[in-house]
Each structure stands twice: as C-alpha cells, then as structure tokens.
Amino acid sequence: MEKKTQLSVILANAPGELSKLCDVLKAEDINILAMSIQNAKDSVKELYNMREKTGRRIALAESYRGILKDSSDYSLIRLLVDKPKEAEKALTKANHLLERDQILVFKLVNQPGMLGKVAKRIGEAHVNIDYIYGSAMEDAEASIFVVHIAETDFDKVKASLKDL
C-alpha cells in the first residue's frame, strides 16, 4: 500500500476530449497508471435513483432534472500518473479544471479474494471506502487498485493491513 496523489479532471463530455487530455500528458512524457471516467449525468442519476429507493430523496424531481441537464455536458476523470506534479502543471496550463486528492494504491496478487481481504480489513478498521477502481490483465501476476478514503483514516488502514 502506498499513499499517492490522484488528479481529478473535469472534461467536456464530447468526442475527442479524452484524446486531448492524453496528448497534454504525452507531451510531458507522463504515463497514466490508472484511470476512472464517470459521466457526471450518470452520477447524478445514480444518486437520484438511490435516494428514491431508500426514501431519502430530499429534493424535488424537477431539481434533479435541472442538475441532470447541466451535468450532461461533463465527465469526471480520475487519474493516477507517474509524475503528478508535472501532470498538474501541464493540465492547468492547458486550462483543465482539476483537483488533487491523496489516495491509497494497492498492488495485490492477482487471485480471487485478494480485494475482498483488503476491503474486509478496511471495514474492520471502521473506515469507509468512498470509491475504488483498478484492474489487472487476466494472466498478470499482480493487480492495482486505487482506493479513496478520508485522509484522516490512512494510518488506521495502514495498521489494519500491515500483515497482508
């Protein structure tokens, strides 16, 4: 487990925008190690549907429709790169809106149940996982997962996973 910096970039939800972002990084010889892309509209829809199912909807449907309309123009790109400071500088220079977050990166043996072991230990430490993304090639020996938790919980998670 390593603490790393993740960049979250807002992109226009339009053909070619991801390619432009990749070109900015390529020009600075920055490699993308992991990436997650989420359409903002889909995220708002999921929130609305979940609140509807749980009975916790606090806004009128019309409010959600307005947010859906506004959010359909954007996507959220989460990036783990090999040179985050340089990437932040290059993307800012290219007029991309971005934020920086501290995340945990796990390199796990690529076998069934490994992510479950990590998630169980994090849960037993009473730490909530905000989101997670990752992958491995089917025949690869290792997998990589990016985990976002509250920064104040990093030490608790580190202690709970020391023997894994």
Alpha carbon 136 to its chain centroid, in Å, reads: 16
Q: Has this prediction a pTM greater than 0.85?
A: no
For 48-66, what is each residue's pLDDT tens digit?
566 666 666 555 556 655 5
Task: Fold for 2-160, please state it.
Answer: VC0802-like (3.30.2130)
Within a 13 Å sphere around the CA of 61, how many CA atoms are in the beta-carbon half? Answer: 2
Q: At what angle do helices 61-71 and 40-54 cross, to 10 degrees?
A: 160
For 124-152, what is each residue's pLDDT tens digit?
999 999 999 998 899 999 999 999 999 99
Taking CA atoms, 67 is separated from 18, 71, 109, in Å, by 23, 6, 41
What are the sequence ranges of the domains in the chain?
Answer: 2-160
Alpha carbon 39 to its chain centroid, in Å, reads: 12
Report the alpha-carbon distance of residue 106 to residue 146 in Å, rounded: 6
> What tokens were used for 61?
């449907």
Which parts of 72-153 fold into alpha helices (H)?
84-93, 114-124
Q: Kindly indicate the confidence band of residue 86, based on its pLDDT and cuts at 50, 70 and 90.
A: very high
> What tokens were used for 35?
């990436």
